[in-house]
Amino acid sequence: MVNPTQIEQITERVERLLLRHEELQRTNKLLEKQVDGLTQERDSLQSRLNAARARVDALLDRLPDSNASPQRSPQ
C-alpha cells in the first residue's frame, strides 16, 4: 500500500507535470504563430521576387540583340 508521503510526492510530481504541460502548450502556440508569420513573409518575398524577375525579363527583352549590327543614324 502507498503511504501518505509517497502520495504527496506523486501529487507534487503530477502538479509539476501539469504546469510543464501548460507551459509547453503556450510555447507551442507562440511558435505556431511565429511559423505562420514567417510563412506569410516568405510567401510575400517569393511573390516580390517573381515580380522582380518578370520586370527584369521584360527589360532584357527590350534590349537590342547583341548579335545584330548596330544601326547607324543617317548623316
More confident residue, 73 or 42: 42
Could you write out the DSSP letters of every residue in 15-66? HHHHHHHHHHHHHHHHHHHHHHHHHHHHHHHHHHHHHHHHHHHHHHHHSPPT
Grid cell, residue 58, equals: 521584360
pLDDT tens string 26-62? 999 999 999 999 999 999 999 999 999 999 999 999 9
